[in-house]
Amino acid sequence: MESPRTALEVRAATDADWPGIWAVMEPVVRAGETYTWDPGTDEATLREKWMHAGGHGRTVVAVTHGRVVGTAELHPNYGGGAADVANAGFMVAADHAGRGVARALAAHVLDLARAYGYSAMVFNAVVASNVRAVRLWQSMGFAVVGTIPGAFRLPSGDRVGLHVMHRFL
C-alpha cells in the first residue's frame, strides 16, 4: 500500500494544471484568512499573479493520483539591489492539510531558488494567526525577523500581526 507522501509528485505547473490549481486556490483566497489579497479577486487576475510565464518566476504543483493538491510559486521579492532575494507563495487543498504537502512544496521551491542563484528567501506577510504556516517555516529554517503589529484584520474582525520571515539559502 502506497502512503500519500510516496504518491506525491512536485513538478513544474503547466497551463493545463490551472483548473486544478484554481480548485486549491479559490477557497484559500475567498476565506481571506491567510493572504493579503482581496478575497473577491477574480480568477483571471489570480491566474496572472500565480502562473509565472517564465521570466524570473516559477510555478509548481503537488499532484497525487492525478489531482493537484497543492501549488507554490517563486519570484524575486523586490528588484534592483534586492533582486537576489526570493519570495514564494504556497497553498494546499484543505482536505490534504497536515500530510506533508506544504513541506514537499517548500523543499522543492527552496531547491529551485538555490538553483536560480537566489541568496535568501523572505515572506513579507505571514498572518500571525496562521500558526501552521509559521511553525512549518520555522521548522524549515526560517526566522521571524519582524512583525508588523495588527496589520491584518481577520474575517472575524480580530486584528493580528504580519510576520516577516527569512532564511538564507
Q: Does 151 bind a second copy (CB under 8 A)?
A: yes
Q: For residue 2, what are the contacts with CB-CB under 8 A and spacing of at least 6?
A: none
The C-alpha atoms of residue 92 and residue 99 are separated, in whole angstroms, by 10
Q: Which of 46, 136, 154, 169 binds a second copy (CB under 8 A)?
A: 154
The C-alpha atoms of residue 166 and residue 72 are separated, in whole angstroms, by 17
Helices (H), the chain: 18-31, 43-50, 101-115, 131-139
The C-alpha atoms of residue 62 and residue 70 are separated, in whole angstroms, by 5
In whole angstroms, how close is the CB of 85 to a second copy at the nearest point? 5
Q: Which of 23, 46, 124, 130 binds a second copy (CB under 8 A)?
A: 124
Q: Does 74 bind a second copy (CB under 8 A)?
A: no
Nine-digit cell at 141? 529554517
Q: Which residue number, 4 or 150, has a Cβ lying nearer to a second copy?
A: 150
Quick check: helix, strand or coil at residue 7? coil
Q: Does 46 bind a second copy (CB under 8 A)?
A: no
The C-alpha atoms of residue 87 and residue 11 are separated, in whole angstroms, by 18
**Number of residues in contact with a second copy under rule CB under 8 A:** 39
Q: Which residue number, 98 or 155, has a Cβ lying nearer to a second copy?
A: 155
Q: For residue 100, what are the contacts with CB-CB under 8 A and spacing of at least 6?
A: 4, 5, 8
In whole angstroms, how close is the CB of 40 to a second copy at the nearest point? 9
- Tell me which stretch binds a second copy (CB under 8 A): 9-17, 38-46, 99-107, 132-140: 38-46
User: What character string, x for contact with a second copy (CB under 8 A) and - otherwise, covers 83-122?
Assistant: xxx---------------------------------xx-x
Looking only at the bridges linking them, the beta strands covering 9-12 and 58-64 are antiparallel
Q: Does 27 bind a second copy (CB under 8 A)?
A: no
Quick check: helix, strand or coil at residue 50? helix
- What is the contact surface with a second copy in residues (CB under 8 A)? 32-33, 35-39, 41, 77-85, 119-120, 122, 124-125, 127, 144-155, 162, 164, 166, 168
